[in-house]
Amino acid sequence: MIGILLNDHAYEQDIRELLMAFFPGRDFVYEELPDLELCLVGRLNENRDQFRMQMIFRGEHSTLIWGDSPAEQWEMDHFDEPVFLDYDNRAEAKNKIKRRLYAILKELTGRSLPWGSLTGIRPAKIALSCLKDGMEEKEIFDFMKANYFASDEKIRLCVEIAMRERELLGRVKELEAKTSQHPANEHGYSLYVGIPFCPTTCLYCSFTSYPIEKWQGRLEEYRKALFLELDYVAETAGKYPSSVYVGGGTPTSLPAEELERLMKKLTDVFDCSGALEFTVEAGRPDSITREKLQILKKYGVTRISINPQTMNQPTLDRIGRRHTVEQVQEQFLLARDLGFDNINMDLIVGLPEEEEQDLFHTMEAVKALAPDSLTIHSLAVKRAARLNTRREDYKNCKIMNTQEMIQMTARYAREMGLEPYYLYRQKNMAGNFENVGYARPGKACIYNILMMEEQQTVIGCGAGTTTKRVIPEENRIERAETVKNVEQYMERIDEMIARKKRLFQGEQP
């Protein structure tokens, strides 16, 4: 158990997240208790221009202290000096504190982190911003090394992705210039449609997702609420989204007739054919049928996902996915036969009990299928996932993710002709790594880039979705949430629409 004792909470989240990166799975408390293995005491002075840290570590035989009162056992002079801050520049003040804390934790644990002191979810956004400021590759590399202590490999990955994103975002700007005909759509927007139903809930999942079989009798009610939202968006933001993404959940868990109603509505109300891409997640192979794929093809869907997460049957059974490896292969080949030429596959590194050999088997099987894009996730155990809420049941499950495993996935992706085009990070990621999307040239998912780099307004419709209104001239992003609970969403749909209305009228949602 780790204690965090601060007299000012302006930087608490950043401090906690860095501690979590070094000590994954630990519980945190905000009081001094006798059984704390580690305690960080942080004090901001009255003028808010100096921050002092004291780290207390209680080992088996001794107590080591870094900070204002270095112990005789181990004195490090540079840790007993305060961090000098410009409190008005919160970003730089935060980074100064994190750099100092990172140095202490690195010394304490004897290890470094691949992303250094970076804890945010969008590291490539830093490199993209540097490119916009006219910095060259070498300058960006030196900047990220000096300011965040990230590894050479991760910085190179960031810069490569940022350069690719810059090129792809140029296509979005060209489309915006053609379609920005509505006052609320001055800078364009992308549309996300949430279908919060799945065949089953996976062990690691924390998304808004409900077993479809329990909601079969109320799908019409959900559809009607969703369609009201879609009508409002078309009226408010215009009918020309840059990209359309139907996710979940698993949209193809809907019965074929419901899926067709959804596709017809989308193509009737929006100009999906004019969008840069039209994606539908067909993530669970056990939700896919020939009829459903034909419906997607009929309405002009250009990109689908078929997501095995692993190609090892014992793992699929362990994590609660009721399909076989053979089904993944069969449905992928069926989609190819029906003419889908942009198919993504998602994989997760660090699933319970999987080792390097298991990942090797998965990558070989995926390589044989030759998807057009591949998203590699490092397992992140979220608070709401069963793997966390029932942690006693799974405490003996081994979760393994190493630099060698991540490098294996990158090597296979490049062997398949896939290039990295976006990345993001999450809390509690196994190995403190990242999620990376790889794609063939011309097959990158525009929506993923827009969502991650927050370069365009994304309007979310459906339970558990978020709308982000990007206001570039003010360098500001405003948000409106829809409730996650399906029952509440259907009952309060007028309120959900009103939240969007306030957002687009410039009021706080």
Q: Residue 163: inside a domain, yes or no?
A: no
The mean pLDDT value of the chain amounts to 86
Given a cut of 70, whether residue 183 has pLDDT beyond it is no
Task: Assess contact for 386 and 203: CB atoms under 8 A.
Answer: yes
The answer to whether residues 173 and 98 belong to one domain is no
Mean pLDDT of 469-478: 87
Q: Of 23-32, 34-43, 93-102, 379-388, which gets the smallest average pLDDT?
A: 379-388
| Alpha helices for 27-78 (secondary structure H) | none
| Top-confidence residue, 242 or 386 | 242
Percent of the chain with pLDDT over 90: 59
pLDDT > 50? residue 211: yes
Give residue 344's pLDDT.
97
How far is Cα 18 from Cα 36, in angstroms, rounded to an integer? Answer: 18
Q: What pLDDT does residue 279 have?
A: 98
Same domain, 249 and 346: yes
Q: Is residue 132 part of a domain?
A: no
From the list 333, 340, 344, 509, the residue with the least C-alpha distance to 440 is: 344
Q: Which residue has the higher pLDDT, 80 or 30?
A: 30
Domain of 8, CATH number, reads 3.30.160
pLDDT score of 157 = 95
> How many separate domains does the chain show?
2
Asked if residue 264 is part of any domain, the answer here is yes
Measure the CA–CA gap between 298 and 269, rounded to whole angstroms: 16
Domain that holds residue 90: 2-105
Confidence of residue 392 (pLDDT cuts 50, 70, 90): low
Q: Which pair of tokens denotes residue 505? A: 């009228």
For the stretch 52-95, pLDDT in tens is 888 777 654 344 444 443 333 333 444 457 888 887 888 899 99
Final residue belonging to a domain, choices 61, 82, 105: 105
Do residues 375 and 369 touch, judged by C-beta distance below 8 A? Answer: no
Task: Answer whether residue 407 is part of any domain.
Answer: yes
Residues 203 and 309 in one domain: yes
88 plus 212 within the same structural domain: no
CA dihedral 213, 214, 217, 223 (to 10 degrees): -90
pLDDT at position 180 over 50:
yes
Q: How far apart are CA 434 and CA 426, in angstroms?
A: 7
3-state secondary structure 252-316: HHCCHHHHHHHHHHHHHHCCHHHCCEEEEECCCHHHCCHHHHHHHHHCCCCEEECCCECCCHHHH
The model's confidence at residue 464, banded by pLDDT at 50, 70 and 90, is: very high
Q: What is the pLDDT of residue 182?
A: 54
Residues 78 and 222 in one domain: no
The distance of Cα 218 from the centroid of its chain, to the nearest Å, equals 30
Q: Is the Cβ–Cβ distance between 459 and 191 less than 8 Å?
A: yes
Q: Are residues 174 and 70 part of one domain?
A: no
Instruction: Report the amino acid identity of residue 472.
Output: P
> Does residue 295 lie within any of the structural domains?
yes
The predicted-structure confidence for 395-415, as pLDDT tens digits, reads as follows 556 677 788 999 999 999 999
> What's the distance, Cα to Cα, between the start and end of the chain in Å?
38
pLDDT by residue (tens digit) across 308-334?
Answer: 999 999 999 888 888 899 999 999 999
pLDDT at 330: 96
Residue 430's pLDDT is 61
The pLDDT value given to residue 88: 84
Q: Are residues 385 and 487 in the same domain?
A: yes
pLDDT at residue 155, rounded to an integer:
96
Q: Round to whole Å and give the CA distance between 102 and 145.
A: 13
Residue 400 or 204, more confident: 400
Domain contains 136: no
For position 436, which CATH number holds?
3.80.30.20
Distance in angstroms (rounded) separating the CA atoms of residues 179 and 506: 22
Strand partners for 438: 374, 420
**Overall average pLDDT of the 443-463 stretch:** 93
Residues 194, 88, single domain; the answer is no
Tell me: pLDDT of 220 over 90.
yes
Judge whether 175 lies within some domain.
yes
pLDDT tier at 202, thresholds 50, 70, 90 = low
Two tokens, residue 188: 């364009």
Summarize the confidence of residues 222-238 as an average pLDDT. 95
User: Domain boundary residue among 58, 83, 105?
Assistant: 105
Q: CA triplet 104, 110, 111: central angle to 5 degrees?
A: 95
Query: Pairing between strand 457-461 and 189-195?
Result: parallel
| Tokens found for residue 465 | 């979705």
What pLDDT score was predicted for residue 385?
45
pLDDT in tens, 97-122: 999 899 888 888 888 999 999 988 89
Residues 203 and 79 placed together within one structural domain of the fold: no
Question: What pLDDT does 131 receive?
Answer: 94
Is there a single domain that holds both residue 69 and residue 174? no
pLDDT at 471: 87
Which of 81, 105, 129 delimits the end of a domain? 105
The reply to whether 196 and 275 lie within a common domain is: yes
Q: What is the pLDDT of residue 68?
A: 41
Cα Rg, the chain, nearest whole Å:
24
- Does one domain contain both 192 and 101? no
CB 258 within 8 A of CB 227: no
Instruction: Assign 165 a pLDDT band (cuts: 50, 70, 90).
Output: very high
Any domain includes 393: yes
Q: Cβ distance 352 to 397 under 8 Å?
A: yes
Measured CA to CA, the distance from residue 468 to residue 409 in angstroms comes to 32
For residue range 251-267, what is the model confidence (pLDDT) as tens digits?
Answer: 999 999 999 999 999 99
